[in-house]
Amino acid sequence: MVLAPRLITVSCFGTLMRRKCPRGQFYRQVLQTALPPTIDVPSSTELSRSYRVAFNKQCIVAPNFGKDKDGGCRAWWHGVMHRTLEGAGSSAIAADPVFRSICDHIYDEVQDQWELYPTTKSALISLQAWCIRHNCCLGVMANMDERLPQILSAFGISSSFDFILSSYECGVEQPMPEMFHKALELAAVPKSALASASPVALHCGNSAMEDLHGALGAGFAALLVDKRFASLSPVRPMITEWQNDSMKETRAWNSPHLGLAMSLLEN
C-alpha cells in the first residue's frame, strides 16, 4: 500500500532518541557527583530495578505524570525519585536536604540523559519536505510531561514539527484513542476522514502497545520502529486484527528506523 496521509505523527523516546546509558547508571552518576564520597550510593542495577517499581506505583497513584495534582509533574517526578531511593535501600539519601536539589537537577536537565539516533535528523528532513509538498501535517506526540517541547528544542528538532503534543497537555495517555484524535484536531483533519479506505493518518513509534496498537485502534496506519527489525515489512498479525473485510492490505508495518517511513509514502 502506498500512503498519502494528511497527518504523520512520530513518537519521541525510543523513536527519535535513545538513552545515553541505562537510567540506573545515570542516576548513580548524578548521586555520586552531588553527595559526599562517604555516602554509599546504590548500584546502577539496584536503582534501575527500584525505579521500575517506583514509576509503576506512581502511575497508579497519579496517572499521566500527576496531571491536575498538587505540584504537577515536577512533584510527581520527585515522588518517583523518593520511591526509587527508598526501594533501593537508601531512605537516608531520600531524606537528605540536598536530595531535593538533586531531583530538580535531573528534572531540569532531562535532555542530558538522551541522544538522537544517527538517522533521526535526515529522516525528519525527508518527512518534513514530503509533508510540505503534499499538504500534510507533521507532529510529534508522546506520553510525557510538560518538558517535551524543551527536550525537542534542546536537540534542535522542534522546528521540524507543525505541533508537539504531550499526554500531559492532552489530558490522556497513549494508547487511548483520544490522544490520536487530538492530533487529528491539531492537524485540522476531521475524525470522519478515518473512515476512508486509504489511511489519512500514519503514526510512527517504538512501542507495540502505545504506538502500534494505539494507532491502529484509533484508525491510524502504524509503523513500529525498532532496530531489531531487519527491514521494512508488514506486521502480519495486525493484517486481520485491525481491518475489516473491505481492507485488502495491511495498515501496519515494522522498520529498523524512522527513515524507512519514506518508502511507505506516495512520491
Instruction: Provide the grid cell at 239.
Output: 493484517
Residue-level length of the chain:
267
pLDDT band with cut points at 50, 70 and 90 for residue 238: low
Domain of 54, CATH number, reads 1.10.150.720
Q: Are residues 129 and 259 in the same domain?
A: yes
pLDDT band with cut points at 50, 70 and 90 for residue 245: very low
If one counts the domains in the chain, the total is 2
Q: Are residues 105 and 151 in the same domain?
A: no
Count how many Cα atoms sit within 13 Å of the Cα of residue 224 in the half-sphere of its side chain: 21
| Residue 67 confidence (pLDDT) | 94
Q: Are 110 and 151 a contacting pair, CB within 8 Å?
A: yes
2, part of any domain: no
Q: Are residues 26 and 55 in the same domain?
A: yes
Q: Are residues 91 and 153 in the same domain?
A: no
pLDDT digits (tens, 9 = 90+) for 70-110: 999 999 999 999 999 999 999 999 999 999 999 999 999 99
Domain that holds residue 228: 7-16+117-264
DSSP structure class, residue 213: I
| Residue 250 confidence (pLDDT) | 79
Instruction: Choose one of 113, 128, 159: the last residue of a domain.
Output: 113
Q: Which residues contact 227 (CB under 8 A, 6 or more apart)?
A: 256, 257
Question: Residue 188: left (phi > 0), alpha (psi -120 to 50), or beta?
Answer: left
Q: Are residues 77 and 183 in the same domain?
A: no
Mean pLDDT (the chain, rounded): 94
1, part of any domain: no
| Radius of gyration over every alpha carbon of the chain, rounded to an integer in angstroms | 20
CA distance 57 to 53: 6
pLDDT digits (tens, 9 = 90+) for 36-62: 999 999 999 999 999 999 999 999 999
Q: Are residues 147 and 167 in the same domain?
A: yes
Worst-scoring range by mean pLDDT, 18-22, 58-62, 162-166, 248-252? Answer: 248-252
Bridging pattern class, strands 221-225 and 252-255: parallel
Count how many Cα atoms sit within 13 Å of the Cα of residue 237 in the half-sphere of its side chain: 4
CA 30 vs CA 35, 46, 178: distances in Å: 9, 15, 37
DSSP structure class, residue 34: H
Beta-sheet strand order (sheet of 7-10): 163-166, 137-142, 7-10, 201-205, 221-225, 252-255, 233-234
127, part of any domain: yes
DSSP structure class, residue 3: B
State pTM to two decimals: 0.93
Q: Are residues 82 and 165 in the same domain?
A: no
pLDDT digits (tens, 9 = 90+) for 144-181: 999 999 999 999 999 999 999 999 999 999 999 999 99
Q: Which residues contact 92 (CB under 8 A, 6 or more apart)?
A: none
Q: Are residues 62 and 76 in the same domain?
A: yes
251, part of any domain: yes
Instruction: Provide the grid cell at 210.
Output: 502505545
